[in-house]
Structure 1
Amino acid sequence: MTEPTPDDSRVIAVMRLSGARFNSEGMPADALVEVAAFEDILRSLVRLYWRDRHPGRKRMPNGYDDEITLRLTAIGEGSAVPVLEHDATLRADDLFGPDEIKEDFARAIDALEQFVNYGYSDKGQIPDDIRRLPSNKMKKFGQTIRKGEAIQVAATVPDSWDAVTRFTPDARRNALVTLVGNFTQRVTVEGQVIDFRVSSGSLVVRDREHKADILVPYLESGVRASIDSAKQLFECVAEGVGEFNADGKLTKLTTVTSLDVTDVTEDARVVRAALDALADLDDGWLDGESGEAISQAVIERGHAVIDTMIALSNITRTVSPTEDGGVSFFWPDAENQLSIEVEPSGALYIHTTDLAAGTFADDKIASDAVDLVDTLDTWLSEVTGE
């Protein structure tokens, strides 16, 4: 990794990204958006300061944006340490006063440092300068940082980063909730599509992990879903930037980086039809004497199990009657030999077997259990074979 040798007269700002991802040489490409967000905040504040000094001017003077351009000149040692410099060649004609611009950048860095300090300590106040910026600019700063990582900012490379406040995911959440009432971060949404909103180019996913219905924009993701019937069923996996409210509840995806929508209609149709066919069995269906008829209550309970399979994206087509009047679902390709039996009482009996180890696990779910998604989540999340 190259140790920066910046010209101190040109250095405007330095940031440090720490965590396991940043310990190797160079810098992860997906983290460069943090540099862009950092630079955008500084330049936006400098523009505000210019307007404060020129309240009668409606437009920025020609060339001012070029004049305040910052350049990434080095990635220093000690995790990833991007150094931003003010390009001296752009100051040759002294159009706007280089000293004034440097003072404005110093003020901008100080405001951002106070914002970081507030998020980390929950003491003091968020600077008024930060509150004047559009909220989306502040939301972008730190949104790729993961648990165990942090961002630090300074006007120059410090002797030691230990004394510089760390902008962790928790600090960011605290600061943004105070600033705008919500926060954003990278997230994966996975679950059943419960609504297509064609007019707005979005779909609604009933996400299993976050236990909420999440709005996901799909137009810019190139998704093409052929909807032939209101009875079609779709599963969705979406990655992107999610917006969370002050209570930490995911409400929507603001941007989508990847989106996969799968039609699971056929598997669901087959197993539902197979289950419904079992209702036609009469007493003695097994050998003329054995085999109890299957009640409508058992069939309805079986449909609740199928709905749970759909919600948890693990559908089997294999369903069979049991001799005592129940029905049994079986996953023939599952590594754990999973089976779920609906007993005549409506209770569920779950059984798995580890053939290699010669062990098994089982569980019983009462007939009055309503939320089968939570109850069966662990069992239906088991890895299936190819």
Structure 2
Amino acid sequence: MNDDDDAAREDEVDANPVEDESGVFATLKLDGARFNGGRLPIDALVELQRYRELILEAAKLAWREANPGEEVPADFSSEFDLAVTEIEDGSAVPVMEKTRSAYDSFYDAGRLDVEALFADIVNRNFGVILNDSGQESAAYQESPSVGGDQDGDATPPDEVGPGDEADAESEDEEETTRQSKQRLLSSLASLDAFRDFGSSLREEDSLLLSGTETHEEVCITSETAPRVFRPIFERLALELVETEEEAPERRKYTSTVAGRLIAVNAEARNFKIKTLLFGQVHGRYKEAERLEDLKKVLESNAQAPLIRVTGRMSWLGDHLRQILNVDEVELLEIETEPWSRRIVELASLAKNWHPELGKSPLISFVAIDAAREVLRATQESEISPGIYPGEDGGVIVEWGSPQRVVTLEISPELDFFLFHLDVVSGEAIEFDPEDLSEVIERVGEALS
């Protein structure tokens, strides 16, 4: 060997070793007599293939959520190059490695998501629950111990605790997590690999998924597929045939609701309101002046004061979940009068209430108050009034009998228009009263 060969060998020894492009991705443990001594029967290899397919599907879902509206890359599946590189002793413990990829974070997330989901539906028998009709449903169900009582409201109905705001935020996070797991379950449960996972195992066999920080150990046996996986798969397939309805959309936008204030917590800047259409709802406010508005309601002498709250709100479909912040509070003092129920109905109308108009505004509380003053002044009349919402957000009051028809239109700006028709003579008179006192006088004359 010459000096050149010696130099080449020295360079080869001193060179940095080539970095291993593979790493351990997952380790499963197959228990049972037929796996003793690290023996891995051919018919059990299908479970590793199913395991890979489920993780890949979860990884794709994680990628779509991180890249909404984009297609999964064409090489996403081929880059998930998973291989068994070793079978350790102690039953059969296949060690699976994969080559490094730009998508590794999604593959890792997919593995953790699948195993955490399995921990829920296998260890705690979740996954198959009953829907409202009493039938099985493949909806994901959280542990009953998470999030307080079934109503999600541990605070007595007559008070608001300082922790209500944190509770509402916690409920939002739990709902987000639940929906994420529901999407994962729905995605996996449509696969044959999910339906048949563990079906190659025999009565004395088991397949163990190791526990991590996010979930405990999961044991799959020959009974798992028929008891857990297949009922979910079959129920989901049936639901897809029975209905094409999508889950309610969750949105946040500015809106207006009416209701009666139950309680206010100044320190936590939150409150409770019993809305007329959506039941009891938690609310929050940021600006200190909103507290004064709400306190006025609680200090009102009126019976059952009604408020209309405008602000940013959280909705699930058409159901109001929470008032996130209050921009405006309007008070309408409701007394026990013959027309009070109708007044409440008008005050409760949401925006765009008219079915044939592109836009129809809220009914003005100012117009409602004016109409109520006229009704009080004329309540001795034998003609019962009809009270209607105006397309411009005003109020229309009409008295009708075989002898006469009297119609009063009140605009949101307190402009008045009065129409009086004498049915017998056919004479019609129109008035534009300048103020509320003249309106009361003219209506009284027309009804007398």
Bin the TM-score by the shorter chain: 0.3 to 0.5
- TM-score, structure 1 normalization: 0.36
Larger Rg: 2
